[in-house]
Amino acid sequence: MIRKIIPTGNEELDTRLGGGFPYPNIILIEGDHGSGKSALAQQFLYGALRVGMRGLAIISESRPREYLKSMSEIQLNVDRYYLHGMLNVISLYLRRFRWRPEHGRVVLPAIAQYLEAVSRKYDIFLIDSLTQLLTYAPTDIVLNFMSRLRILASRDKGFLITLHPSVVSEELGAKIRGTCDGYIKVSNTVIGGKIYKVLSIIKMKGMPPGGESSITFDVDPAMGIKIVPIKAAKA
């Protein structure tokens, strides 16, 4: 598989990554609540849209309008891509809806079937987040879902997936990570009395030469993702 590098649209981040992120890849971005995993995934999606790719975002924690607004609030205004059909946002969020065990066997297969049906329309897919969708899903269903994404990725499709680490067992988590081409872990850290975020690239097929495996950043509403030099952070 020949991979190309897609700039994220954030000059500082691209410099640290060696130019951008490899495509096509299945990239898992894992982190606790508030660690910046959604912002990072959105930045990658934004970069893909900027170079003319068509994207589909499947979200589970908000409505499309709210999601688009959350992107614009960190300087990732994708409204024009949305209005021109370059980006589609599908929400699985329903107020007062409670996930139940019986949903576990049907939701992921239905999503996989839908992705296969529309795969020709889009180049890159964002699932933000996979956390709720895995809550009651049996292991065989989860692994089958990842295998179906693997097949789509082999057809030059890219995937960005966010996940909260505590939702699955360590064994299943390891199997999910094993099916992905890229695994990024994001976490919060305290430096000089202030909370920053750390992006750690555990693995990434096709990563550009010179790309850094650990990047400290902050999410600033006025500037979006802002790279924080360690020396400056400690000052």
Query: pLDDT (tens digit, 9 = 90+) per residue, 191-215?
Result: 888 999 999 999 999 998 889 999 9
Determine the straight-line distance between the first and last CA of the chain, rounded to whole angstroms. 44
pLDDT above 60 for 232: no
Alpha-carbon span 164 to 151, nearest angstrom = 24
- Work out how many domains the chain is built from and give that number: 1
CATH number at residue 125: 3.40.50.300
pLDDT tens-digit readout, 133-173? 888 899 999 999 999 999 999 999 999 999 998 888 999 99
pLDDT tens figures, 23-72: 999 999 999 988 999 999 999 999 999 999 999 999 988 899 999 999 99
Instruction: State the pTM of this model.
Output: 0.94
Name the residue range of residue 172's domain: 4-234
